[in-house]
């Protein structure tokens, strides 16, 4: 039984503790591999085939193919790792942030310009 | 005797580095931030430290989750620029200060801080963006660098208090070094930001603005905050602010807060800079 943590009530936040890290280890390992140019080329050439080199679950694989960044966190990913997929696509942290927040990129940027987003209810 | 002459706290947002690299610092979005960096650059040029101990965190660049050092120190002659997934930043390689770095290892381990020793280390935006903020675009960096990487990604991260105590141990270590180096210590990262989850985009400007003065007058109060307090108040990635406590711990208690600058947002982050004059 994983211990209760005092950060579990912070909504919309996925902390990379031991439980999370075990779940996402191979997913994050795939993301880490994108630090090498030759791996980025192999991923671009055939995404599904490249993902099969890693011991990730079917659900994790689909979330990568779908670029579903919230799902990737829920399946054990960490943003510094999963963002490497986005950077490879030419997406920015604001594109990814908006998607995870469930709002448009324009609205996300505007809320930041207005002083930053607040806690979610 | 070697001495610490300055402590600097600064954000290390990748987009700030990109704005410098791509000549966007005069754009309306970036100008208010970079205008506030100008006095800091002048201050650094005048103070001219020989060595910078740069406390930063690696962002899935050199360290994977297979082995996670809580505190790691770079003792190499040279630190290449990491490819973080989109090619390395086009900035000069970072020159080390290996003799001083090994002295720090010796002294810190004897002082019960069990550092991970890195003879090969590629450095990422966490280390290079602060250099760009302080030195702009030189042909080579005008300072030798000792990278000090702190884990703030894989929990448990070190506590805020442990970071502050490491800073105090660094001060003792430098006092026992026979060289004549004049040293700046940089605490980097923060300020408030959350990159992940439905809470992405969270910024807490009140917390950030108060942080400077608390760091100056009452750093003890910041060491009492738990990691969850940092996540709650400064966002999940804002926990990087504990790195500023290593910097503060390495300074004299009465070091003077000489300059502060704050601007939000820089991309998804509250961006701050402060200089402590410890001469």
One pLDDT digit (tens) per residue for chain A, 121 residues:
778 999 999 999 999 999 999 999 999 999 999 999 999 999 999 999 999 999 999 999 999 999 999 999 999 999 999 999 999 999 999 999 999 999 999 999 999 999 999 877 6
CA distance A101 to B194: 11
Model pLDDT, residue A121: 63
Cross-chain Cβ contact B196/A94 below 8 Å: no
Among candidate residues B156, B170, B18, B211, the one with its CA nearest the CA of residue A93:
B18
Note if the pTM is more than 0.90: yes
Chain mean position to CA B11: 7
Cβ proximity of B241 and B190 under 8 Å: yes
Annotation says B22 is catalytic = no
CB contact under 8 A, B64 and A29: yes
| Ramachandran bin of B180, using left for φ above 0, alpha for ψ from -120 to 50, beta for the remaining angles | alpha
For residues B152 and B172, give the distance between their C-alpha atoms in angstroms, rounded to a whole number: 24
Domain A18-85 belongs to what topology? Protocatechuate 4,5-dioxygenase; Chain A (1.10.700)
What's chain B's average pLDDT? 98
Residues in chain B closer than 8 A to A35 (CB atoms): 60-61, 82-85
Q: Is A19 helix (H, G, I), strand (E, B) or coil?
A: helix
What pLDDT shows up at residue B211?
98
What residue has token string 């109060």? B221
* For helices A93-101 and A105-113, angle between their N-to-C axes, nearest 10 degrees: 100
pLDDT band at B1 (very low <50, low <70, confident <90, very high): confident
pLDDT tens per residue, range B99-153: 999 999 999 999 999 999 999 999 999 999 999 999 999 999 999 999 999 999 9
A103/A95 Cα distance (integer angstroms): 10
Binary contact (B153, A32; C-beta < 8 A): no
CB A15 to CB B236 under 8 A? yes
Share of chain B above pLDDT 90, in %: 100
- Rounded distance between C-alpha atoms, residue B210 and residue B149, angstroms: 26
Contact call for residues A51 and A64 (beta carbons, < 8 A): yes
Rounded CA-CA distance A87/B92 in Å is 22
Of A93, A102, A115, the CB nearest to B268: A93
Q: Which residue of B has its CA nearest to A13?
A: B197
User: Is there a contact between A109 and A99 (Cβ–Cβ < 8 Å)?
Assistant: no
Distance of CA B206 to the CA centre of its chain: 21
* Domain spanning B3-277: CATH 3.30.2290.10: no
- Choose from A9, A15, A111 for mutation: most chain B CBs within 10 A: A15
In the residue annotation, B193 being an active-site residue is answered as: yes
From the list B204, B78, B202, B53, the residue with the least C-alpha distance to B130 is: B53
Distance CA A15, CA B228 (A): 10
Mean pLDDT of B21-30: 98
**Residues forming CATH 1.10.700.10 domain(s) in chain A:** 18-85
């Amino acid at each position: 039984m994983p211990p209760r943590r005092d950060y579990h009530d912070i909504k919309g936040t996925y902390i990379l503790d031991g439980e999370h890290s075990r779940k996402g280890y191979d997913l994050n390992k795939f993301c880490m591999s994108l630090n090498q140019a030759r791996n980025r080329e192999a991923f671009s050439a055939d995404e599904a085939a490249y993902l099969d080199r890693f011991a990730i679950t079917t659900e994790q694989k689909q979330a990568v193919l779908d670029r579903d960044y919230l799902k990737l966190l829920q399946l054990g990913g960490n943003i510094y790792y999963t963002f490497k997929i986005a950077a490879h696509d030419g997406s920015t942290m604001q594109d990814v942030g908006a998607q995870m927040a469930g709002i448009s990129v324009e609205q996300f940027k505007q809320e930041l310009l207005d002083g930053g987003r607040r806690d979610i209810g | 005797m070697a001495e610490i002459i300055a402590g600097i706290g600064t954000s290390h947002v990748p987009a700030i580095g990109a704005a410098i690299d791509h000549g966007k610092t005069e754009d309306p979005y970036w100008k208010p931030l970079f205008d506030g960096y100008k006095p800091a650059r002048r201050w650094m040029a005048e103070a001219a430290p020989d060595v910078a101990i740069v406390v930063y965190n690696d962002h899935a660049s050199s360290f994977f989750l297979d082995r996670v050092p809580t505190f790691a120190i770079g003792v190499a002659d040279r630190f290449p620029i990491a490819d973080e997934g989109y090619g390395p930043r086009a900035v000069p390689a970072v020159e080390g200060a290996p003799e001083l770095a090994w002295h720090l290892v010796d002294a810190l381990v004897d002082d019960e801080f069990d550092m991970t020793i890195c003879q090969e280390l590629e450095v990422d935006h966490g280390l290079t963006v602060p250099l760009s903020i302080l030195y702009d675009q030189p042909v080579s960096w005008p300072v030798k660098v000792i990278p000090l990487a702190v884990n703030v990604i894989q929990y448990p991260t070190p506590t805020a208090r442990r970071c502050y105590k490491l800073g105090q141990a660094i001060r003792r270590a430098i006092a026992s070094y026979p060289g004549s180096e004049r040293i700046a210590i940089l605490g980097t990262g923060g300020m408030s930001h959350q990159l992940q989850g439905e809470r992405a985009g969270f910024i807490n400007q009140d917390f950030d603005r108060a942080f400077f003065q608390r760091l100056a007058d009452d750093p003890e109060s910041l060491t009492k905050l738990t990691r969850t307090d940092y996540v709650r108040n400064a966002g999940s990635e804002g926990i990087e602010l504990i790195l500023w406590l290593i910097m503060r711990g390495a300074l004299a208690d009465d070091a003077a807060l000489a300059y502060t600058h704050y601007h939000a947002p820089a991309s998804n982050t509250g961006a701050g800079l402060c200089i402590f004059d410890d001469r």
